[in-house]
Structure 1
Amino acid sequence: MSKRALVLVYPKSDEGEVCVPYSVLKRGGVDCKLAGPSTDPVYCSVGIRIIPELPLSEAIKQGPYDVVVLPGGRWGWQSLSTDKHVIALMREQEKSGRCLAAICTSTIAMKMHGIMYGRRLTSYPSLEDVMRRDACYIYKHDDVVVDRNLITSSGQITTFAWAIKVLEYITDEETAARVAQESLLPY
């Protein structure tokens, strides 16, 4: 049975942090869906419009997903943090033990709602103090951090490495190595 992934795209999300994991997961044979607040075009961080395949409310009904991917972006975390469907989905991934992959500023959405407290993670570097505050997380200075079913990354330049690690987590090393090689990425 094919693994299933849900990649979110919300206003001000970083385009690369949406498209790279979607592409990597699809290349790895993962049944990947792209969901947003609706099926209207979403204006991302530099104005590129991405059209979700389905609204998140509908995507949730089609779950569960082996991984839910949260993109960051300078202001992308704000729309993730206030959407009741995103909050419910993060909580469900944590409760069920299924993977949650967060990059850049999307870790703020996790923190605002008490998701995966006590875990090791990384984020956009300027957020280190925010993520350390109240000892909610164990902050690491690595490009990609895996702590059980939580996979985090620091930002744009680490997106490919993060996406490959997510693919490896939900499939296997062989699949991740093949996709990395096809994409001219070190593995």
Structure 2
Amino acid sequence: MQNLTGKSIAIVATNGFEQSELEVPLKTLREAGATVHVVAPEAGEIKGWNKTDWGNAVTVDKTVDSVSADDYDAIVLPGGQMNPDLLRVQPKVLDLIKAFWNQKKVVAAVCHAPWLLVETGIIKGRKVTSYASIRTDVINAGGLWEDSEVVADQGLITSRKPDDLPAFCNKIAEEILEGLHERRAA
């Protein structure tokens, strides 16, 4: 993993996030030197989903209301079925994701989190992947879906599942270090 000292990353999630899809990027990116905040609609703690049952709680560092894309270099969106489904009906979350995109910063989504990219319209015309069960949703929203462990398209990073997390985290670091993705059309 490349050195991310001086870089800041927001991981946006709520209850029902896939445990490993929040915890692995959180640990990996912090170990690389980045400042990483868990951001949620609510303060306190959010509880993960660990494969077949409720998992561990994670402390929320900041609420969606208290952060801005201006404060970070990237946004990471963990999957799980519940988490992105709950987040995609929250306008402030969608606005935050769009703000990262409009500022040409890194937007990374794994598993079911590309639902959030569908909801924001970001996915249209972009090369992406996702968990297989939402492939049709992604394609219907104009995403150029492929079955790969990690897909990057001008700072938009997507992966399929927990097994892809090492490649996902490495690609996040690589894309952050590239800087703003100025060639990307909004």
TM class by shorter chain equals 0.7 to 0.9
Higher helix proportion: 1
8 Å CA contact 2:12, 2:77 repeated in 1: yes
- For the pair 1:121 / 2:128, whether they are aligned, the reply is yes
Q: TM-score, normalised by structure 1?
A: 0.85
Match of 1:156 among 153, 159, 162: 162
Q: Deviations over 1:28-75 (max 9, x none)?
A: 111211111122221222322112112121122x83311100010022
Deviating runs (4+, > 6 A) in structure 1? Answer: none
5+ residue gaps in structure 2? 179-186
5+ residue gaps in structure 1? 173-187
1:76 CA displacement: 1.6
Letter aligned with residue 174 of structure 2: E
8 Å CA contact 1:36, 1:55 repeated in 2: yes
CA distance in 1, matches of 2:90, 2:169: 24
Letter aligned with residue 12 of structure 1: G
Letter aligned with residue 112 of structure 2: T
How many pairs are equivalent? 170
Higher strand proportion: 2
CA distance in 2, matches of 1:167, 1:113: 23
**2:84 alignment counterpart:** 77
**2:182 alignment counterpart:** none
CA distance in 1, matches of 2:64, 2:75: 11
CA distance in 2, matches of 1:145, 1:164: 12
Tell me the percent identity.
Answer: 23
CA RMSD of aligned residues (A): 1.6
Match of 2:62 among 54, 57, 62: 54
Distance 1:146 1:29, change over 3 A: same
1:144 CA displacement: 0.3
